[in-house]
Chain A
Amino acid sequence: MNIAIDTRQRNVLGSSALRPDGGAKVRGEFSFSSDMWAENMLWGATLRSPHPHARIVSVDISRALTIAGVSCVITAEDVPGKATYGLIESDQPVFARDVVRYMGEPIAAVAADHPETCRMALAAIDVVYEILPPLSDPEKCLDPATPPIHESGNVFRHQRIVRGDATVTGDIVVEGTYDIGMQDQAFLGLEAALAIPGPDRLSVELHIATQWLHEDRRQIAACLALPEEAVTLVLGGVGGAFGAREDISLQVHCCLLALRTGRPIKMQYSREESFFGHVHRHPARIWMRHHADRDGTIRKIEARMVFDGGAYTSTSPAVLINGITHTQGPYRCDNAVVDGYAVRTNNPPCGAMRGFGVVQACFAHEGQMDKLAEACGVDHVTIRLRNAMRHGDLLITGQPMDSVAPVERCIRETAAIPLPPDMPDEPHLLTLPGGAGRTADRRHIRRGVGWGVSMKNLMYSEGFDDFATARCSLKDGVASIKFATAEVGQGFVTLATQIATTLLGVDDVVLERMDTTIGSAGSTSASRQTWMSGGAVDGACRHVREMLFQDVGARAGIDPIRLAIVDTDVVDTMGDFRISVADATAGKDFHYTFEHHHRPTEDLDENGQGNCHVAFAFVAHRAVVDVDVDLGLVKVVQIATAQDVGRVLNPLSAIGQIEGGIAQGLGLAVMEEIITDNGVVRNPSFTDYLLPTALDAPDVVAVMIEEPEPMAPLGAKGIGEPPCVSVTPAIVAAIRAATGKDLDRVPVRPQDICC
């Protein structure tokens, strides 16, 4: 779509300020973590289990150690500290010791002079496995009669929500069971790191592409048996994340090899290893039953959700809570009975991915809304408007909806976007389903339109004191901003510059290195950094501005309360005094470190009641698809969307998040799935795991709804996740409309359409 680009002279908030790292990135000069290099460096690599479930009988590294160029081989025996790590529960082994619980679980790591030497060394490690039958069916793993995969059992978490009157029934009852496949984040920049050991091997500096430097450091230091101060993390250039870099992957291995060899170690996963080296989006099966009045007003929702968490905990407990607390979607509902399980299996571990549990719930509740519309004889827009949540409604957790909640506006403004023109009689072959394959036949193509609307929580939940830290210093007309916020591509670096420019009246803003020498910024996830780290930079800059006003006021004999920043000057709002910020800060150094905390949240009680979330954002999507019903091929023609963004801080960044999220949701709808066969991953490559290409990209027409959020420091809600939440059900609904098929799983495959 075309967007109005606001190119003001200065990079203030609201302008389409350009990325400060844009020039380096287009020149190929931006240093990604995979581009790093050190004198005397060795390469590291990981040996992984080919079996999803096996007992390790023996590991013999002696042959590998004889290969010229191999410096060391390490196994579970060589982990000096904690043998496990994990974001919520520390249950994932650094190296498997006695048993492997998923295909790809690390067994050993090597350091050698060349990646090819590493590969030869890995092949020379002799592991004897006693293969065990994998437990890959979550329902079976839930059965108490099934032996536990891990000593802490097969249920990561069970939580129910019971609200209102469970005996209520509706005149209209619709139900369905929905399946969501395992999606991969598939960032382009593969996992990579450079670990540099300190003198005496008592400290280490790790340059790493991650989402959360401080949390990584906490887990790494424990495994290394080093104090956290001895472990410094520096953000290596990050080539996308989408949740996959929230868990530890190669961090501990890389540091262990560096400390063992005393030499810098570079590790870099291949694409195949990347599929095994990070967590994925949880596959889920969700049953829902909606009770409604004859006009479609929802009276009660019943649901059961089972999330397959794979072999280790990762963030499964939090994903589950997000799933069940979004059962209702953006619709009012007073009565609910929801039962949710996150289950351990011998499938690949699953954790964070953009949308975090809400994607799964949304696919189910939007399928239900369409069934409800049809059962009530109303259209798909009417049913959603009739139930649209409003500010002040109570959620099924009992939490009041006190975020700005323009659900009705999202739906109406999406509906007002013109539909695309009909397919011409002689369309360009590339616009047909099948794209470059040119296999579709115009006569077999049917068009469908579908809807998806969603609610997405922002920030972390359930009592977690989530905060972000930033330091601002202002000196000689230059603002320096320091934070540990992981820039993963989303553009926080642009926003930080805009905040400082706006508040301090400076055009020279220096962003310091992102590392652990300042307090935590929390994770770049949960649509939280604009709110949290934006709040921290905003707070730090405001304090510095106040120091500047105090200083200027004292020198000029003006009450500081009368001073303001206008463009690049400090001005007296009640007089003629004016001085440039550059002159006012000459020879001075004002600095302040600020921590932004959001309001506290609560745990859920045994009935799933509690104010567990901080805030919410909403979005509507309308999809138009062309389907070749004979071949089962789908072309997404247009996505219309209106998103509740609070306030647009940078139109160019915002449209980038919206279009990018839509493409990922399209991927889940019609092409992306990690296929597992009894725990064995069948398609760990970009040849077999398909991602949307330029030819798959739909025309996106977006409206950004600006109703500033009073709770948010900048009035802006996080915008990263909502675009990928409800676009998936909208596309599937459009395919249902085109084909008349039920289609209760994603991704929709050709055989689901034409068989």
Chain B
Amino acid sequence: MSEQLIYQLRVNGKIREVRDAWVGESLLYVLRERLGLPGTKGACEQGECGSCTVFMDGAAVCSCLVMAASAGDADIVTIEQLSEGGLTDVQEAFVNTGGVQCGFCTPGLIMAVHHLLEHTPDPSDEEIKESISGNLCRCTGYGRIFEAVRETIRTRGGNA
């Protein structure tokens, strides 16, 4: 393929070089296939399902919609970074409350919930639902995922 290029990304605090890449590759593809970070999942390629959620400069984004070659200035955080020091409280809660079945949506949801609770530490039920409504889950019907979010809020001293 023509238009191959070399660029750098800042992922999980490290500078990573991307070599011989096709310019059209999404951030999702580069993370998974070139940088050895398959924790971020892809299920729709059009920003509908949220499985590929990562943080870019603190914002939760669908990495399938980001051109990797355009993300050089951003600070990118993936699911792999979250559990470097053991499971986070959100991850613990997902396991303990039954929020995980097949687990394919799970990394994206974990990212979304961390993002929610960072910005809204004590969300209402409606705020919880709206904040994760961009993350599709086909197994759980969301009931145990709501419970995982509430459990996290409780362990952080909130009133859920």
Whether A271 and B102, one on each chain, are in contact in the complex, defined by CB atoms closer than 8 angstroms, is no
Whether A25 and B46, one on each chain, are in contact in the complex, defined by CB atoms closer than 8 angstroms, is no
Q: Tell me, yes or no, whether B63 is within 8 Å of chain A by CB.
A: no
Q: Chain B CB within 10 Å — which of A35, A436, A664, A695 has the most?
A: A695
The CA-CA distance from A484 to B131 in the complex, in Å, is 38
User: Smallest Cβ distance from A316 to chain B, in angstroms?
Assistant: 24
Known contacts A189-B102, A430-B126, A686-B48: A663-B142 contact under CB 8 Å: yes
**Interface stretch (choices A237-245, A503-511, A535-543, A592-600):** A237-245
Whether B144 and A117, one on each chain, are in contact in the complex, defined by CB atoms closer than 8 angstroms, is no
Partner of A26, one of B40, B44, B45, B87: B87
Contacts of B147 in A (CB 8 A): 2
Q: Tell me, yes or no, whether B68 is within 8 Å of chain A by CB.
A: no
Contacts of A691 in B (CB 8 A): 136, 138
Q: Tell me, yes or no, whether A114 is within 8 Å of chain B by CB.
A: yes
Q: Tell me, yes or no, whether B159 is within 8 Å of chain A by CB.
A: no
Nearest to A29 among chain B residues (CB) is B39
A-B contact count (CB 8 A): 199
Mask of B44-71 contacts with A, CB within 8 angstroms, 1/0: 1110110100000000000000000000
Whether B129 and A30, one on each chain, are in contact in the complex, defined by CB atoms closer than 8 angstroms, is no
Whether B146 and A28, one on each chain, are in contact in the complex, defined by CB atoms closer than 8 angstroms, is no
User: Smallest Cβ distance from A704 to chain B, in angstroms?
Assistant: 14
Q: Tell me, yes or no, whether B6 is within 8 Å of chain A by CB.
A: no
Known contacts A27-B83, A653-B98, A655-B98: A693-B141 contact under CB 8 Å: no
Whether A188 and B51, one on each chain, are in contact in the complex, defined by CB atoms closer than 8 angstroms, is yes
Contacts of A37 in B (CB 8 A): 33, 38
The CA-CA distance from A372 to B2 in the complex, in Å, is 68
Q: Tell me, yes or no, whether B121 is within 8 Å of chain A by CB.
A: no
Q: Tell me, yes or no, whether A190 is within 8 Å of chain B by CB.
A: yes
User: Smallest Cβ distance from B36 to chain A, in angstroms?
Assistant: 9
Mask of A179-197 contacts with B, CB within 8 angstroms, 1/0: 0000001111110000000
Q: Chain A CB within 10 Å — which of B22, B87, B102, B136 has the most?
A: B102
Known contacts A187-B102, A656-B140: A694-B95 contact under CB 8 Å: no
Nearest to A116 among chain B residues (CB) is B22
Whether B24 and A659, one on each chain, are in contact in the complex, defined by CB atoms closer than 8 angstroms, is no
User: Smallest Cβ distance from A16 to chain B, in angstroms?
Assistant: 8
Q: Chain B CB within 10 Å — which of A37, A431, A491, A697 has the most?
A: A697
Q: Tell me, yes or no, whether A573 is within 8 Å of chain B by CB.
A: no
Within 8 A of A (CB), among B1-43: 1, 22, 24-25, 29, 32-33, 38-43
Partner of B83, one of A26, A189, A239, A658: A26
Nearest to B36 among chain A residues (CB) is A37
Q: Tell me, yes or no, whether B157 is within 8 Å of chain A by CB.
A: no
Nearest to A685 among chain B residues (CB) is B46
The CA-CA distance from A37 to B29 in the complex, in Å, is 13
Q: Tell me, yes or no, whether B80 is within 8 Å of chain A by CB.
A: yes
Q: Tell me, yes or no, whether A489 is within 8 Å of chain B by CB.
A: yes
Whether B141 and A22, one on each chain, are in contact in the complex, defined by CB atoms closer than 8 angstroms, is no
Whether A659 and B102, one on each chain, are in contact in the complex, defined by CB atoms closer than 8 angstroms, is no
The CA-CA distance from A31 to B38 in the complex, in Å, is 8
The CA-CA distance from A28 to B31 in the complex, in Å, is 13
The CA-CA distance from A182 to B8 in the complex, in Å, is 46
Whether B138 and A656, one on each chain, are in contact in the complex, defined by CB atoms closer than 8 angstroms, is no
Contacts of A30 in B (CB 8 A): 103
User: Smallest Cβ distance from B104 to chain A, in angstroms?
Assistant: 3
Q: Tell me, yes or no, whether A740 is within 8 Å of chain B by CB.
A: no
Mask of A1-37 contacts with B, CB within 8 angstroms, 1/0: 1100100000000001011011111111111101101
Nearest to A431 among chain B residues (CB) is B126
Contacts of A656 in B (CB 8 A): 98, 101, 139-141, 143-144
Partner of B102, one of A31, A35, A188, A435: A188
Q: Tell me, yes or no, whether B96 is within 8 Å of chain A by CB.
A: yes
Partner of A697, one of B24, B38, B49, B129: B129
User: Smallest Cβ distance from A485 to chain B, in angstroms?
Assistant: 15
The CA-CA distance from A303 to B40 in the complex, in Å, is 49
Q: Chain A CB within 10 Å — which of B44, B49, B135 has the most?
A: B44
Q: Tell me, yes or no, whether A227 is within 8 Å of chain B by CB.
A: no
Contacts of A555 in B (CB 8 A): none
Partner of A32, one of B41, B49, B133: B41
Q: Tell me, yes or no, whether A443 is within 8 Å of chain B by CB.
A: no
Whether A428 and B126, one on each chain, are in contact in the complex, defined by CB atoms closer than 8 angstroms, is yes
Whether B43 and A271, one on each chain, are in contact in the complex, defined by CB atoms closer than 8 angstroms, is yes
Q: Tell me, yes or no, whether A69 is within 8 Å of chain B by CB.
A: yes
Q: Chain A CB within 10 Å — which of B78, B83, B142 has the most?
A: B142
User: Smallest Cβ distance from A514 to chain B, in angstroms?
Assistant: 14
Whether B49 and A686, one on each chain, are in contact in the complex, defined by CB atoms closer than 8 angstroms, is yes
Nearest to B127 among chain A residues (CB) is A430
Mask of A665-706 contacts with B, CB within 8 angstroms, 1/0: 000000000000000000001110001111101001000000
User: Smallest Cβ distance from B3 to chain A, in angstroms?
Assistant: 11
Contacts of B134 in A (CB 8 A): 693
Whether B95 and A489, one on each chain, are in contact in the complex, defined by CB atoms closer than 8 angstroms, is no
Contacts of A694 in B (CB 8 A): 128-130, 132-133, 135, 137, 142, 145-146
Mask of B68-106 contacts with A, CB within 8 angstroms, 1/0: 000000000011101100010001001111101111111
Partner of B104, one of A32, A270, A435: A32
User: Smallest Cβ distance from A8 to chain B, in angstroms?
Assistant: 14
Nearest to A427 among chain B residues (CB) is B126
Nearest to A665 among chain B residues (CB) is B141
Known contacts A22-B94, A114-B1: A188-B133 contact under CB 8 Å: no
Within 8 A of B (CB), among A468-514: 488-491
Contacts of A32 in B (CB 8 A): 41, 103-104
The CA-CA distance from A663 to B143 in the complex, in Å, is 10
Q: Tell me, yes or no, whether A317 is within 8 Å of chain B by CB.
A: no
User: Smallest Cβ distance from B26 to chain A, in angstroms?
Assistant: 11
Known contacts A29-B39, A35-B38: A660-B126 contact under CB 8 Å: no
Whether A663 and B136, one on each chain, are in contact in the complex, defined by CB atoms closer than 8 angstroms, is no
Whether A27 and B139, one on each chain, are in contact in the complex, defined by CB atoms closer than 8 angstroms, is no
User: Smallest Cβ distance from B63 to chain A, in angstroms?
Assistant: 13
Mask of A280-311 contacts with B, CB within 8 angstroms, 1/0: 00000000000000000000000000000000
Mask of A105-128 contacts with B, CB within 8 angstroms, 1/0: 000000000111100100000000
The CA-CA distance from A592 to B142 in the complex, in Å, is 40
Q: Tell me, yes or no, whether B153 is within 8 Å of chain A by CB.
A: no
Whether A28 and B38, one on each chain, are in contact in the complex, defined by CB atoms closer than 8 angstroms, is yes
Whether B107 and A28, one on each chain, are in contact in the complex, defined by CB atoms closer than 8 angstroms, is yes
Whether B91 and A687, one on each chain, are in contact in the complex, defined by CB atoms closer than 8 angstroms, is no
Q: Tell me, yes or no, whether A652 is within 8 Å of chain B by CB.
A: yes
Within 8 A of B (CB), among A218-241: 237-240
Nearest to B90 among chain A residues (CB) is A26
Q: Tell me, yes or no, whether A351 is within 8 Å of chain B by CB.
A: no
Nearest to B135 among chain A residues (CB) is A694
A-B contact pairs, 30 of them (CB 8 A): A18-B95, A18-B96, A21-B103, A25-B106, A27-B82, A28-B83, A30-B103, A34-B41, A115-B29, A116-B1, A116-B22, A188-B51, A189-B43, A190-B42, A240-B102, A271-B43, A271-B44, A428-B126, A435-B133, A436-B133, A489-B102, A658-B141, A659-B144, A663-B142, A685-B46, A687-B46, A693-B142, A694-B142, A694-B145, A697-B142
List 3 tightest A-B contacts by C-beta distance, closest first. Answer: A28-B39, A489-B102, A25-B103
- Measured CB to CB, the residues of A under 8 A from B are 1-2, 5, 16, 18-19, 21-32, 34-35, 37, 68-69, 114-117, 120, 185-190, 237-240, 242, 270-271, 428, 430-431, 435-436, 488-491, 652-653, 655-656, 658-664, 685-687, 691-695, 697, 700
- Measured CB to CB, the residues of B under 8 A from A are 1, 22, 24-25, 29, 32-33, 38-46, 48-49, 51, 78-80, 82-83, 87, 91, 94-98, 100-107, 110, 124, 126, 128-130, 132-147
Beyond the given A489-B139, A694-B142, please list 5 additional residue pairs across the A-B interface where CB-CB is below 8 A: A27-B91, A188-B138, A489-B101, A663-B140, A694-B145
